[in-house]
Amino acid sequence: MSQQLRIHATIAALALSATALSSLPALALDAVTYGTNWRAQAEHGGFYQAVADGTYEEYGLDVTIVQGGPQSPNRQLLATGRIDFYMGGTMDAFDAVKQGIPTINVAAIFQKNPQILLAHPDQGIEEFDDLAELETIFMGADGFITYFEWMKARDVGFRDEQYKPYQFNPGPFLADTNSAQQGYLTSEPYAIEQQTGWAPTVFLLDDEGYSSYSTMITTQVSLVEENPDLVQRFVDASIVGWYNYLYGDNAAANELIKADNPEMTDGQLAYSLEKLKEFGIIESGEALEAGIGCQVDERYKQFFDTMVGIGVLEASLDYTQAFTTDFVCKGVGMDLKPEQG
């Protein structure tokens, strides 16, 4: 056979092989569900980003985000295996260990918990401990049995009589200048300013010493043991999604957020993203050097010791069962962050 004929035969064979490959079914994506702890918002942006821009698909995943809310059972759905991952918290993880529920934190997206207390401006509330002078603090029951115990332990005058239940309505706080209210750094201050025209005084509990991880990726221990590759791919893809949401084109992700939560506005989304960056909610601590999602034993132990010190947890609890560092602190996605000029 001549050289020219051999070339034509090779080309024909390659074409036939390509045709055969194209007729094969695509590899199926692994179906994954991630339950959030509240309605869709910018605080969930990285997960929506990874759906919107195809990052999850690139990691072989077909991800469905199950939106949370005030009565959402997503935490219980994780415990019973009906969803694969959940947006848990540090106290959730400790509580699971206490109750013998086999779930575990595999990543900490928020290095700081955005929990705040806010007060009326021009009322002489300049420092956090000045809140002890107020007659009322509106907070949820969870806050009353956790961070309010920590506040009372500061021994500056916080007292049980200040507590009134917070019903996710700022009306009582707005009507009472001698009060404070719980909130989220990225949400309530914006809503109040939009409604009243004045900005409340804001205290981030994390910056006052009540420091814990938040917006976790939590899963069942069995999934970590039986399919660590799936866990790693979901963690990595979510981290990449967060870098792209923070520093890339997040318009498509925001549209998905608004589709899930029609009450969400562009103004609120922009404000939330600004505060996430300004206060280092996602990028601070170990995450600055080891990447978004990083979690370390020292931070868990610090918060655990705080909870033991105020009587919320027993010292005998094995806090190390609440998390694993195997899937994070590897610098995944850090190349997506623009260099600081």
Assign residue 158 a region (left: φ > 0; alpha: ψ between -120 and 50; beta: otherwise): beta
pLDDT at residue 104 in the model = 98
pLDDT at residue 71 in the model = 84
Among candidates 149, 147, 169, 168, which has minimal Cα distance to 160?
Answer: 149
**Domain 115-208 in this protein, CATH class:** alpha beta
Question: Hey, where are the domains in the chain?
Answer: 30-111+212-336, 115-208
pLDDT at residue 341 in the model = 53
Q: How many residues does the chain have?
A: 341
pLDDT at residue 40 in the model = 98
Mean pLDDT for each consecutive 10-residue tract of the chain (341 residues)? 41 42 62 97 98 98 95 94 97 97 98 98 96 98 95 97 95 97 97 96 97 97 98 98 98 98 97 98 97 98 97 97 98 93 53
How far CA 212 is from CA of 184, 206, 307, in Å, comes to: 14, 7, 11
Within this chain, domains 30-111+212-336 and 115-208 share the same CATH topology: yes
Give CA–CA dist 151/146, Å, rounded. 9
Residue 325 phi/psi, 5-degree rounding, is -100, 10
Half-sphere exposure of 335 (CA within 13 A, CB side): 2
The CA R_g of the chain, rounded to the nearest whole Å, is: 24
Structure tokens at 188: 């309530």
Give the three-class secondary structure for 220: strand
Among candidates 43, 45, 28, 35, which has minimal Cα distance to 238?
Answer: 45
pLDDT at residue 5 in the model = 37
Q: Does domain 30-111+212-336 have CATH number 3.40.190.10?
A: yes
pLDDT at residue 3 in the model = 39
Structure tokens at 302: 């610090």
pTM of the model: 0.90
